[in-house]
Amino acid sequence: MEDAADMVRLVGRMINIPLSISISSLELALSTLRGMQKVITAEPGTTNADASQTATPPIIHGAPAPSPAQSGQAQPAPTLQADSIRDTYNGLAAFVVPGMDIWSAAQGATSSEPGAVSTHVADVMIGVLDRTVPSPPQAPPSSAMIASLLNQVAQKVNPSAGGNFASDFSKLSFREKVAVFQFIEGDPSMQPFKRIGGLLAFFVAFIFYSEASAFDFATHRLKGRPAGWVATNYNGDFDGSCQFKGYFRDRRHAEKSTDCA
Amino acid sequence: MRDVIVIGAGGGGPVVAKELAARGLDVLILEAGPRFADPEKEWSHYEIDANGGYLRFGPADLSKPAWFRDLPQNSALQQLSGVGGTTLHYFGNSPRSVPGVFLNYQGADKDNYDVAHIFPFTYRELIPYYEWVESTLPVETAPMGTKEEIFLRAAERMGLPFQETKDAFKAGFRPQENAILQPGGHAGKTMDPALLMYPHSKGCTFCGHCMQGCYLPRGAPRNLKAKRSTDNSYMPMALTADVWAHGKRATLITDAFAVKVTTDAQNVARSVTWRIGKTGELVTEEARVIVMAAGTVETPRLWLNSGLPNPNDQVGRGFTDHFSDALGGLLPFDGAMSKGPGSNARIDFPGYGAIEQFVATPAFSGSSATLSDAGIAGYYNNGVQEQGSGADVVGRVVGKELRTIMADIDRVLTVVVLTDDDVEAQNRVTQSFAFPPDEHGPVPRVEVHQRARTARTIRNREYLNRQAVNLLRAAGSYKTYRFNFPPTMIHIHSTMRMGLSETDTVVEESGEARWVKQLYIADNSSLANSVGGANPTLTTQALATRTAERIFQRYFGGDPWVAKESPVSSVAEAVTQAVQQ
Nearest chain B residue to A185 by CA: give it.
B382
Q: Is the confidence at residue B573, as pLDDT, over 50? A: yes
Burial string for B345-370 (b: 16+ CB within 10 Å, else e) reads: bbbbbbbbbbbbbbbbbbbbbbbbbb
Q: Measured between CB atoms, does B177 come within 8 Å of chain A?
A: yes
Q: Is the confidence at residue A188, as pLDDT, over 90? A: no
CB–CB of B370/A198 below 8 Å? yes
Q: Is the confidence at residue A155, as pLDDT, over 90? A: yes
Nearest chain A residue to B385 by CA: give it.
A48
Q: What are the tens digits of pLDDT across the range B477-513?
A: 999 999 999 888 889 999 999 999 999 999 999 999 9
Q: Measured between CB atoms, does B501 come within 8 Å of chain A?
A: no
* Residue B399: closest CA among A187, A205, A77, A226: A205
Which of B123, B177, B384 minimises the CB distance to A254?
B177
A92-96, A223-227, A235-239, B157-161 — which is least confidently predicted? A235-239
* Inside any domain, residue A167: yes
Which of B53, B177, B382 minimises the CB distance to A185?
B382
Asked if omega into B567 is within 30° of 0 (cis), the reply is no
Q: What are phi and psi of A203, to 5 degrees?
A: -70, -40
β-bridge partners, B330: B412, B479
* Inside any domain, residue A91: yes
Nearest chain B residue to A203 by CA: give it.
B367
Average pLDDT of chain B to the nearest whole number: 96
* Residue A238: closest CA among B495, B338, B120: B338
Which stretch of DSSP H or E encloses residue A31?
Answer: helix A23-35
Domains in chain A, number = 1
Which of B53, B68, B143 minimises the CB distance to A13?
B53
Nearest chain B residue to A195 by CA: give it.
B74
Q: Which residues of B touch A207 (CB under 8 A)?
A: 48, 363
Name residue A133's amino acid: V
Contact A241 B218 (CB under 8 A): no
Contact A20 B162 (CB under 8 A): no
* Residue B345: closest CA among B124, B488, B158, B577: B158
Angstrom distance (rounded) from CA A107 to CA B20: 63
Place B476 in a pLDDT band, splitting at 50, 70 and 90: very high
Q: Is residue B102 helix, strand or coil?
A: strand
Contact A201 B373 (CB under 8 A): no
CB–CB of B444/B70 below 8 Å? yes
Q: Is B41 exposed, middle or buried (0-12, 13-18, 19+ CB in 10 A)?
A: exposed
Q: Which residues of B touch A48 (CB under 8 A)?
A: 374-375, 377-378, 381, 384, 386, 394-395, 484
Q: Is residue B576 helix, strand or coil?
A: helix
Q: How far is B385 from chain A (nearest CA, A)?
A: 7
CB–CB of B372/B366 below 8 Å? no
Please report, rounded to a whole number, the percentage of residues in chain A having pLDDT higher than 70. Answer: 66
Name residue A172's amino acid: L
pLDDT, mean of residues B541-569: 98
* Inside any domain, residue A261: no
Q: How far is B557 from chain A (nearest CA, A)?
A: 32
* pLDDT score for A13: 65
Angstrom distance (rounded) from CA B189 to CA B207: 11
pLDDT, mean of residues B161-179: 96
CB–CB of B344/A247 below 8 Å? no
Angstrom distance (rounded) from CA B364 to CA B91: 14
Q: Which stretches of B37-136 are assigned E, i.e. beta strand?
A: 76-77
Q: What are the tens digits of pLDDT across the range B98-121?
A: 999 999 999 999 999 999 999 999
Q: Measured between CB atoms, does B387 come within 8 Å of chain A?
A: no
pLDDT, mean of residues B398-424: 97
* Inside any domain, residue A136: yes
Q: Convert A183-215 into a string of H (helix), E (strand) and C (coil).
A: HHHHCHHHHHHHHHHHHHHHHHHHHHHCCHHHE
pLDDT, mean of residues B512-526: 98
Q: Is the confidence at residue B555, as pLDDT, over 70? A: yes
CB–CB of A90/A170 below 8 Å? yes
Place B384 in a pLDDT band, splitting at 50, 70 and 90: confident
What CATH number corresponds to the domain at position B46?
Answer: 3.50.50.60
Place A191 in a pLDDT band, splitting at 50, 70 and 90: confident
pLDDT, mean of residues A178-190: 92
The model's pTM is 0.93
Q: What are the tens digits of pLDDT across the range A11-69?
A: 666 544 444 445 556 666 666 666 666 566 554 443 333 333 333 333 323 223 333 33
Q: In terms of residue numbers, what domain contains B534?
A: 2-580
Kind of pairing between the strands at B201-202 and B251-253: unpaired
Max CA-CA distance within chain B? 68
Q: Measured between CB atoms, does B59 come within 8 Å of chain A?
A: no
Strand order in the sheet with B172-175: B172-175, B345-349, B353-358, B412-419, B325-330, B479-482, B393-394
β-bridge partners, B165: A255
* pLDDT score for A22: 54
Contact A233 B399 (CB under 8 A): no
Name residue B307's amino acid: G
Nearest chain A residue to B480 by CA: give it.
A49
Average pLDDT of chain A to the nearest whole number: 77
CB–CB of B285/B275 below 8 Å? no
Name residue B235's amino acid: M
Domains in chain B, number = 1
* pLDDT score for B241: 98
Q: What are the tens digits of pLDDT across the range B209-249?
A: 999 999 999 999 999 999 999 999 999 999 999 999 999 99
Q: Is residue A171 helix, strand or coil?
A: helix
pLDDT, mean of residues B274-287: 98
Q: Which residues of B touch A248 (CB under 8 A)?
A: 144, 148-149, 152, 174-175
* Inside any domain, residue A52: no
Q: How far is A62 from chain B (nearest CA, A)?
A: 21
Tell me the H-state helices in B370-411.
Answer: 400-405
Q: ipTM, 2 decimals?
A: 0.95
Give A208's contacts (C-beta < 8 A, 6+ positions apart).
A93, A96, A97, A115, A116, A119, A121, A227, A228, A231, B366
Contact B45 A236 (CB under 8 A): yes
Which stretch of DSSP H or E encloses residue B285?
Answer: strand B282-292
Tell me the H-state helices in B196-355.
Answer: 234-239, 241-244, 298-305
Q: How far is B342 from chain A (nearest CA, A)?
A: 13
pLDDT, mean of residues B145-156: 98
pLDDT, mean of residues B387-404: 93
Contact A98 B58 (CB under 8 A): no
Q: How far is B75 from chain A (nearest CA, A)?
A: 8
* pLDDT score for B179: 98
Q: How far is CA B207 from CA A39, A240, A249, B142, in A?
A: 52, 4, 23, 14
Judged by CB atoms within 8 Å, which residues 273-332 of B form the interface with A?
none
Q: How far is B518 from chain A (nearest CA, A)?
A: 32
Q: In terms of residue numbers, what domain contains A190?
A: 2-45+72-216
Kind of pairing between the strands at B256-263 and B269-276: antiparallel
